[in-house]
Structure 1
Amino acid sequence: MDPLTALAVLAAGLGGGIVITAIGAGSLVTFPILLAVGLPPVVANVSNTIGLVPGNISGTWGYRHELVGKRRLVIGVAATTAIGAVGGAVLLLAVPSEAFSRLAPWLILLAATLVGVQPLISGGLRRRALRRGEAPRDAHPGLPAPLAWVSAVIGVYGGYFGAGQGVMLVAFLALGLRERLQTVNALKNVAVLSANVVATLIFVWIAPVDWPAVALLAVGSVVGGWLGAIIGRRLPGPVFRVLVVLFGHVVSIQLLVTA
């Protein structure tokens, strides 16, 4: 790997770590760059999942205060997402790589669109709660059964591809839980970490991995995840959201045109 390519992958890890913690769509930054530097789609996806784990850890740690007193929710989200991620990782390796190559642009387009519409979904959910006279709540004793199923299904997506997984979770957790948005975001980080760790344990044994790319992503994502936790509290989310949506749509359209 030449120095310029290495720098691009390192920067991708930094940006991906920031975005995955602050918004939940870090793979929209990292995955296209891995494709751009020449990695095959499945290798890029596998290496991306493994390389972002350190950033997931630092980002989750940065949001640890929002999870105080939420032990049952944390366990519920982490466990159900992990179970689903096993199926997603196996699916990625079982389906021919050509099929994933054709599907990847549409997955990126879906994830980018979800990032854009997530505020509308969350706003609608808050208005519905107000119409029903539901007061804000401090905590929920555990993960409700419907949300457990949703979390597992999203975990399948996370193990298979992952970009936008956090956005999906934020939308559904905001619907089913009476928690502050920052707490929901912290739970999202736990879920993404859980899915990526489980997928990584499978990928390192039986999947094609570009280890230099993984190492560079890991270094960048650790710093990015830590910065994302800080930025997620201090800067307006719309700024990052617009950039991610634009980036994701441009990349997906480019992949569709060149396919």
Structure 2
Amino acid sequence: MNLAEAALIGAGAFAAGAVNSVAGGGTFFSFPALLAVGVPPVVANASNSVSLWPGSLSGAWAYKRELAPLKRYLVPMGLASLAGGVVGGVLLLRTQDSEFARLIPWLLAFATALFAFSPRISALLARWRAGRPATAQGGSAGGWLTQLLVSVYGGFFGAGMGILMMASLAIAGHEDVQEVNAIKNLLSAVIYSVTVVTFIVAGAVSWPHTLLMILTATLGGYWGATVARKVPAVWLRRVVIAVAALLTLHYFMKFY
């Protein structure tokens, strides 16, 4: 890395940490920054996942009180996340850079749509489950399979994984927002942890870029939390959506 590349990587990760602490969607800033400085697509995705790992652990720890009564439910869901994360990570490592590059615009478009329409998705799910009996505490085979599929996607790419997981948990019968966030954070931490180990063992991580991103994303997260009261989350969401849409268009033009 030269100084200009380090500045771009640091700015992208700082922005990712800041928007993740308020509105979500940080991957739209950090992942393209890695691509912009010439990091190969597969290594860029693996390095980005590693840089997000500490945040996922701290998010899970913050909800330990809400998670305590759900141990019976979390064990099979955690195993689904573990298995799916391994499969997704291995799929990424077995994908050639040229193949993954052509997938990037489609993956970004999918994640952008999820992020943009997540409030509407949440509202539709709330109406869908109204009057239905809750099944979350005991879990179900359908819920386990859905979590497995979400985890494969999370291990392979990750952007928008949280939205997918919150939707699947709502369908499974979870109604309390704090409970949904708690479970989502824990299962995301499981997915990130197993994919991080997979990527590190495979030697797919660019450590100079990743360590810089961890540092600047942490600073960005702290800064974002301090200014969250001053900037409405809705405006940050609009900025993230606009940036994500422009990046999606850029990569469609670049790779097609």
TM-score, normalised by the number of residues in structure 2: 0.86
Task: Tell me the residue number matched to 1:209.
Answer: 205
Unmatched 5+ stretches in structure 1? none
Task: Tell me the residue number matched to 2:97.
Answer: 97
Q: Which amino acid aligns with 1:90?
A: V
Q: Which amino acid aligns with 1:174?
A: A
Q: Which amino acid aligns with 1:246?
A: A
Does the Cα contact within 8 Å between 1:10 and 1:220 map onto a contact in 2?
yes
Alignment pair present for 1:27 and 2:27: yes
For residues 158 and 22 of structure 1, do their structure 2 counterparts lie closer, same or farther at Cα, with a shift above 3 Å needed? farther
Does the Cα contact within 8 Å between 1:18 and 1:221 map onto a contact in 2?
yes
For residues 121 and 230 of structure 1, do their structure 2 counterparts lie closer, same or farther at Cα, with a shift above 3 Å needed? farther
Task: Tell me the residue number matched to 1:53.
Answer: 53
SS in 1 for 2:69: coil
Does the Cα contact within 8 Å between 1:28 and 1:244 map onto a contact in 2?
yes
Does the Cα contact within 8 Å between 2:19 and 2:26 map onto a contact in 1?
yes
Unmatched 5+ stretches in structure 2? none
Offset from partner CA, 1:78-116 (integer Å, 9 cap, x none) = 321121011111111112221100001110110010111
Q: 1:145 aligns with which of 133, 141, 144?
A: 141
For residues 24 and 142 of structure 1, do their structure 2 counterparts lie closer, same or farther at Cα, with a shift above 3 Å needed? farther
Offset from partner CA, 1:108-148 (integer Å, 9 cap, x none) = 11001011112112111212333x376xx7x9424322111
- Counterparts of residues 241-252 of structure 1 (less than 5 Å): 241-252=237-248
For residues 25 and 7 of structure 1, do their structure 2 counterparts lie closer, same or farther at Cα, with a shift above 3 Å needed? same
CA distance in 2, matches of 1:149, 1:184: 17
Give the percent of matched residue pairs that are identical in Structure 1 and Structure 2: 34
CA distance in 2, matches of 1:257, 1:107: 14
Task: Tell me the residue number matched to 1:78.
Answer: 78
Q: How far did residue 6 of structure 1 move?
A: 2.0
Does the Cα contact within 8 Å between 2:17 and 2:217 map onto a contact in 1?
yes
24-33 vs 164-173, which deviates more? 24-33
Q: How far did residue 193 of structure 1 move?
A: 1.6
Q: How far did residue 59 of structure 1 move?
A: 2.6
Does the Cα contact within 8 Å between 1:62 and 1:226 map onto a contact in 2?
no
For residues 175 and 39 of structure 1, do their structure 2 counterparts lie closer, same or farther at Cα, with a shift above 3 Å needed? same
Q: How far did residue 35 of structure 1 move?
A: 0.9
Q: CA RMSD in A?
A: 2.8
Q: Which amino acid aligns with 2:254?
A: T
Q: Which amino acid aligns with 1:182?
A: Q
Does the Cα contact within 8 Å between 2:118 and 2:163 map onto a contact in 1?
yes
Q: Which amino acid aligns with 2:165?
A: L
Does the Cα contact within 8 Å between 1:47 and 1:209 map onto a contact in 2?
yes
For residues 106 and 157 of structure 1, do their structure 2 counterparts lie closer, same or farther at Cα, with a shift above 3 Å needed? same
Q: How far did residue 18 of structure 1 move?
A: 4.5
Does the Cα contact within 8 Å between 1:23 and 1:167 map onto a contact in 2?
no
For residues 232 and 85 of structure 1, do their structure 2 counterparts lie closer, same or farther at Cα, with a shift above 3 Å needed? farther
Offset from partner CA, 1:215-257 (integer Å, 9 cap, x none) = 0122233445567788899976533432322221111110111
Task: Tell me the residue number matched to 2:217.
Answer: 221
Does the Cα contact within 8 Å between 1:147 and 1:173 map onto a contact in 2?
yes
Task: Tell me the residue number matched to 1:190.
Answer: 186
